[in-house]
């Protein structure tokens, strides 16, 4: 029974390619495989950078709105929030 277990482990640990060179050549399909890997990786990296840029833009927009509200309503501790006003009006209409 021990030899069967060893054989199963040996089968599970067998490499699909004989060498690293064969791995990189991908059986003649290397151009397509590595092009797909590159495009996918590039897309994910671009998406990550775009998300970071968008997050910074959103924070800057929030800061601009706060500064504008502070200029328009200098005497009030907290300026009226348009979203909160809309929610209150919606509650009254129901």
Confidence of residue 88 (pLDDT cuts 50, 70, 90): confident
The predicted pLDDT at position 2 comes to 54
Count Cβ atoms below 10 Å from residue 1 Cβ, excluding itself.
5
Distance CA 20, CA 17 (A): 7
Count Cβ atoms below 10 Å from residue 63 Cβ, excluding itself.
10
Q: Which domain holds residue 14?
A: 2-93
What percentage of the chain has pLDDT greater than the value 90?
39
CA dihedral 12, 13, 19, 21 (to 10 degrees): 70
The pTM for the full model equals 0.56
Q: Tell me the mean pLDDT in the region 87-94.
A: 67
Q: What is the mean pLDDT of the chain?
A: 81
> How many domains does the structure of the chain reveal?
1
Least Cα distance to 17 among 27, 7, 9 occurs for: 27
């Amino acid at each position: 029974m021990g030899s069967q277990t060893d054989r199963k482990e040996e089968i599970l640990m067998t490499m699909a390619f004989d060498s690293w060179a064969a791995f990189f050549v991908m059986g003649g399909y290397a151009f397509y495989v590595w092009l797909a890997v590159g495009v996918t990786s590039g897309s994910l990296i671009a998406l990550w950078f775009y998300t970071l840029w968008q997050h910074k833009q959103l924070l800057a927009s929030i800061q601009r709105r706060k500064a504008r509200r502070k200029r328009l309503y200098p005497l009030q501790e907290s300026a009226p929030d348009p979203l909160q006003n809309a929610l209150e009006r919606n509650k009254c209409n129901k």
